[in-house]
Structures are given as C-alpha cells and as structure tokens.
Amino acid sequence: MSHKSDYKSLLSELDRERLPKHIGIIMDGNGRWAKAHHRPRLLGHRAGAKSTRLAVELAVELKIPCLTTYAFSTENWSRPQSEVDGLMKLIKELLISEVPELHRQNVKLRFIGSPHGVQASLWQEIHQLASVTHKNTGLQLNVAFNYGSRTEIIEAFQKVYQKAQQNPQVIEQLDIHNFGDYLYTAGMPDPDLIIRTSGEMRISNFLLWQAAYAEIYVTPLFWPDFDKKQFVIALLDYQNRIRRFGGLQGT
C-alpha cells in the first residue's frame, strides 16, 4: 500500500465534526534524526521542513482553522553559532520557496515571537515575505520564531500596563477571558491539541497560557519521520479523549 493511500484510508475514521480548531506542534528531533542517519544537523532541519510542509498540507485538506509550529525558541540561540546561522538562512530560503504555494492554498502565514535579539533586517524580511498572505482566509499558520511563552506573557503584561496608563479600568477589567487579547495569538482559539515528537515529555515553554486545557500527544518519532499518516493517527487519538475541562464526565 502506498504512503498516500495509507493515510487516505485512515481519514475515513476521522469525525470531521470533532477536529481540533487549533493544533500546536513542537517539532522536536531534527538533530537526533540527522545523527541517527549520520548526517549534519542542518540536513536534519531540512528534512524536518518537509514534514512541516506535509503537516500544513493535511491541515489545509482537513480545513483545520489554525496551526502553530514551534520553529525557533528564545533558548535556541544558545546552540552552536554555525547551526543558528544555518537555521536563519534556511528559514529565509523556505519562505521564499514556500510562500507562493501557501498563498495559492489561501493560507494566512504569520510569525509570532519577540523581535528582541533578532537582527532587525531579518525580522523585517520574514514579516515582509509573510505579509503577502495577510488577506488570505484559509488556514492560519503561525510560525513561532524567537518564541518563548514566558517572554510572551511578560510582554502581554507590559501591554496591559501601557494601556492602563491611559485607562486605569483596564486593570480592573483584566480577567482570564480577555488576557489572551494581549498575547501573540490574540483573536485565535486556544489550542485543542499539542503534538510533540521525539518522545520528550515536556512542553518546553510553548503556548503555556493558551494550552491550559489542550490535549497532549507525544510520539517517539523524530520530526522528519512524522508524516501525514502519523498526523492522522494523532488526530484519531485526540478524538478518543474525553475532554472535561476540569469538570466531570457527563456534566
């Protein structure tokens, strides 16, 4: 059975009415995949980019409203400079090559993260490339770049403080329902499902506020080995969960 027909056969098992509105993916294991295949780490990241493309394709096919991929964290700057430089170059290359197809698929691409510590010209360039898609109405694809959830929350409180200087009632009116308006993901639904590859059992500073009640799915596969079939398997696992949101089943 071919790879394509293999994942297609699983699609029939999905309940299209119970798909997640927002999926977050911690794309882990590119370096370990490269090591296991006796290749340079940067080739592992290139292989991982192919898996990202497949994930986006399936999200478009299933009409998932929102997908957030963890591309580069605020902690990743501590990696060897050669790897960081290679990743920056790869991100620009992928944007140049992929944005036309994303635009054709009506995908709205957006980078979320902090500009602090990023070369200003790079920050401007990646947002300019993504801006081509800003009027699209299909899948909202968030690329978390120079992203750290703790930084996001701190910056959100700074926004609240600045707004409160003009209107003190902002503090009194702040609650769990409107705090999200100050986060990078403002206007988007909270993630229903967080997928993590490589078998690590942690959330790694990813969407901490937003993922308060997200279902977590962990697979031992490295990200370059995560294909459409594995994505559908994760969705089927999600649909087998009972989501209580702190309450009791059946209440």
Output the 3-class SS for 43-74.
Answer: HHHHHHHHHHHHHHHHHHHCCCCEEEEEEEEC
pLDDT tens digit string along 140-191? 999 999 999 999 999 999 999 999 999 999 999 999 999 999 999 999 999 9
Domain 19-148+193-239 homologous superfamily, CATH: Decaprenyl diphosphate synthase-like (3.40.1180.10)
Bridge partner residues of 145 (DSSP): 72
Amino acid identity at 249: Q
CA dist., res. 231 & res. 58, Å (int): 8
**What is the model's pLDDT at position 5?**
54
Let me know if 28 is a catalytic residue: yes
If residue 145 lies in a helix (H) or strand (E), which one and from where to where? Answer: strand 140-147
**What is the model's pLDDT at position 243?**
75
- Taking only Cα atoms into account, the Rg of the chain, rounded to an integer number of angstroms, comes to 19
Question: Which residue among the candidates 15, 28, 136, 205 is catalytic per the annotation?
Answer: 28
CA dist., res. 163 & res. 199, Å (int): 41
CA dist., res. 182 & res. 165, Å (int): 15
Look at phi and psi of residue 110 and say left if phi exceeds 0, alpha if psi is from -120 to 50, else beta: beta
pTM of the model: 0.93
* pLDDT greater than 70 at residue 1: no
pLDDT tens digit string along 205-247? 999 999 999 999 999 999 999 999 999 999 999 999 987 666 6
pLDDT tens digit string along 120-135? 999 999 999 999 999 9
Question: Which residue among the candidates 76, 136, 225, 237 is catalytic per the annotation?
Answer: 76
Q: 6 falls in which pLDDT band (50, 70, 90)?
A: confident
Q: Give the range among 1-5, 30-34, 179-183 with minimum mean pLDDT.
A: 1-5
* pLDDT greater than 60 at residue 2: no
pLDDT tens digit string along 41-74? 999 999 999 999 999 999 999 999 999 999 999 9
Amino acid identity at 108: K
Measured in degrees and rounded to the nearest 5, phi and psi for residue 22 equal -145, 130
